[in-house]
Amino acid sequence: MDKIRVKNCKVIKLPIIQDGKDGCLSVAESFHNIPFKIKRVYYIYNINNKNAIRGMHAHKKLQQVIFCINGSFFLRLNDGTKKQDIILDEPNIGIYIGVELWHTMKRFSEDCILLVFASDFYDESDYIRNYSQFIKYLEHKNDFI
Note the maximum CA span of the chain.
58
Annotated domain spans of the chain: 9-144
Which one from 57, 59, 103, 140 is the annotated catalytic residue? 57
Asked if residue 19 has pLDDT above 80, the reply is yes
Query: What CATH homologous superfamily does 9-144 map to?
Result: Jelly Rolls (2.60.120.10)
Mean pLDDT taken over the chain: 95
Res 28: pLDDT: 97
Q: How confident is the model at residue 1 (pLDDT cuts 50, 70, 90)?
A: low
Q: Does the annotation count 59 as an active-site position? A: no
Q: Summarize pLDDT for 60-105 with one digit per residue, the tens.
A: 999 999 999 999 999 999 999 999 999 999 999 999 999 999 999 9
